[in-house]
Chain A
Amino acid sequence: MENLIPTLTVQVFNGLVVGMLYALIGIGLTLILGLLDIPNFAHGALYALGAYLLVQILGMTGSFWLGLLIAPIVVFILSMILERLMIRPLYPVGTNYVLLFTFAVSVIVQELIIILWGPVGFSVLPPTMLAGSVELGLFSYPRYHLFVMFVSVAVIFALWLLLERTRYGAIMRAGIENKTMVSALGIDVYRLFTVGFGLGAYLAALAGVLIAPIRGLTPYMGVDILPFAFVIVALGGLGNIIGAIAAGLIIGVTQTLTTQFWPQGSTITIFAVMALILLTRPQGLFGAR
């Protein structure tokens, strides 16, 4: 019984770590949803790509830090190119086609990952500086996990600064709310879409990089995470960034705790809740309408 509180706290911490990563993925997906009006079926693939590029850079340079820095940026650039060259021409054709294209991309990227890096997957060790545990009073906790929390919070804070305190961020938020209005103000909406897509991809890839030492990599990690990404976005409200953060944390903690105490019910409950929210409160738990 004395072990319960420390165990519980550790699980909550784990939930928060996973939750922060879910939040990053969710913010990215909801941003793309809000701007481009499509559920980005390629989001999982971008997350996986981030993780695999980390492995590549790790293999080439031996530096986790370089991987952490560069991999998401590479995905950022590649996805902007993809959006500009292949998604933008599809907007006039219809959002259904954009959606289907992202689905095709997810298939193609997954196969490319297997071609380039093999079907088996990898495990990644955290950098030596972040290895081992930290004493936190009642329990010890992996240093790397704390690092992930720290980085996630920092990135989310930076994102908040961008969106709330810069002119470009304001334009982006306006673009989510009312594209026609933004366009009428003379702003190039299409370029906004490109950057927005890139930003969303960056966050997904970053989450992939950060999660690699915790969960390892498989080529199917993208396909596996996509449903959860959708749940977070539905729960938080389509296009609602704060909602995505809150939903990510809620889902992360809930999932970690239920897996510990009630494994059977966890995933079903999550998706049942998602359907319920979409049916009754499409603006999500945190949206205003």
Chain B
Amino acid sequence: MALLRTENLTVRFGALTAVDRVSLEIQPGTVHSIIGPNGAGKTTFFNAITGEIRPTSGRVLFLDRDITNLTVYQRAQLGIGRSFQRTNIFPNLTVFENVWLASFARIHPSSLPHPMPRHQLAEVKDRVCEVLAEVGLADRANHRAAELSHGDQRLLEVAIALGLSPKLLMLDEPTAGLSPEETRRMIWLIKELAKRYTILLIEHKIHLVMEVSNLISVMHFGQLIAQGPPEEIQRNPAVQEAYLGRR
């Protein structure tokens, strides 16, 4: 069963069709990348999946459940965790607290208080330490998030999504604005994460995509124009014309 499935997902803004009848499936345990030139509709597609945008038509199904009309927070509670293209953290809270909020949400997202057994809080804390260690931010846990370098903030961006222990990890251009060295570190991280998470990835750096992906979907002007394993996509003439050929 596909983890996530979209059926003819369409997003229109007035006369502009940002996402045009995109149907695809994300299989569990894979790294599925979406590529395409700027303005192809990739982030809009992401937003339609996570609920920041309501589609004009079409459906989004998560574990065979229609989530098209659920709110952002409801979808997050189902296990969809995403990072953002433009860094979207909690600047005045510490790194630890940023990730803690995600881990805590997984067990107690409700606003109504009820006493929490001590061991549950300990579990949350452990999870946070785990994530921070994995991402490489453990030594900066007490720093204010705003004080981190851009590269570290991008790591925090991913760490927050990881804190949710998501069933589906959606990463929107995690390497945006990173130096080559930081990019290599992020690639390594994604490969490690791929061992345990299903990842839906948007990226511009083609070599990264080719290196980590099991499956690549190519978008152009809102439409899905090709889909397949990396080698196939590299050879696909339509893709080359639309995207790779322009480099």
- Determine whether A and B are in direct contact in the complex, meaning some CB atoms lie less than 8 angstroms apart: no
